[in-house]
Amino acid sequence: MTRQLILERAVKEIQDGMCVNLGIGMPTLIANMIPNDFNVMLQSENGLLGIGPYPQKDEVDPDLINAGKETVTAKAGASFFDSAESFAMIRGGHIDLAILGGMEVSEAGDLANWMIPGKMVKGMGGAMDLVQGAKRIVVIMDHVNKHGESKVKKSCTLPLTGEKVVHCLITELAVFHFSEVGMELIELQNGVTLDEVKSKTEADFTISPSIEIKA
């Protein structure tokens, strides 16, 4: 239910006509939630523009995968190309929105999402290019880790993917906006109180005047 809450709010960041990159992990689930009447082109770093929903069992093609090596479908009009062309799209500023997972986000909008020191990783993937090349970066993640520690930090403790790159952060508790003046709480998820967000957030943030504070 927590994951579903985050995903449903993240879908609202997608607008008709956008070219969108969905990061590996939880963000890829958004492909199945985009409204049918939206003309949205999903782009993948491994060379696919026009990703469709996850395939049914009889639709699975082992050669048709996304950057997370999951089998996907391709929409009518989809294009296939090499990863160099894909990264040229990203670095050239042609991606309207990237929705990425996160391990930590700081109050300055820094993002750490590619490695934990001491644990094996295959590589940094495309995240470092996406946070610099995409026009808007939305991060979705749990508000606290499995130890109950805030993942919304004053400063990230994990290796950074990018500095001051996050525009919007969505967790199961709240939605934050980042700008030159800092981090602002703009929404509380249903049933969540401001006190709960404050108690689980290490970062300092301001509160939007549009938020209805419940007792």
Active site residue 107: no
Q: Quick check: is 215 in a domain?
A: no
Catalytic residue among 45, 104, 107, 172: 45
Domains of the chain: total: 1
- DSSP code at position 198: H
Nearest to 5 by CA among 157, 136, 178, 175: 175
CATH number, domain with residue 141: 3.40.1080.10
Q: Quick check: is 77 in a domain?
A: yes
pLDDT at 210: 87
pLDDT at 1: 76
Q: Quick check: is 35 in a domain?
A: yes
pLDDT at 148: 96
Q: In the chain, count of helices (H) and strands (E)?
A: 4, 13
By residue range, what is the domain housing residue 16? 2-207
Q: Quick check: is 39 in a domain?
A: yes
Q: Quick check: is 78 in a domain?
A: yes
Q: Quick check: is 158 in a domain?
A: yes
pLDDT at 26: 94
Could you report how far apart the first and last alpha carbons of the chain are, in Å?
A: 24
pLDDT at 8: 97
pLDDT at 97: 98
Nearest to 168 by CA among 197, 190, 139, 141: 139
pLDDT at 119: 81
Q: What is the pLDDT along the chain (215 residues), one digit of tens a residue?
A: 789 999 999 999 999 999 999 999 999 999 999 999 999 999 999 999 999 999 999 999 999 999 888 999 999 999 999 999 999 999 999 999 999 999 999 999 999 999 988 887 777 789 999 999 999 999 999 999 999 999 999 999 999 999 999 999 999 999 999 999 899 999 999 999 999 999 999 999 999 998 876 54
pLDDT at 184: 98
Dihedral angle sign, alpha carbons of residues 100, 39, 96, 75? positive
Q: Quick check: is 213 in a domain?
A: no
Q: pTM for this one?
A: 0.95
Taking the CA atoms of residue 136, residue 142, residue 144 and residue 145 in that order, the dihedral angle to the nearest 10 degrees is: -110
Q: What's the CA gap between 159 and 170, in Å, rounded?
A: 21
Q: Quick check: is 214 in a domain?
A: no
Which tokens go with 26? 């939880």
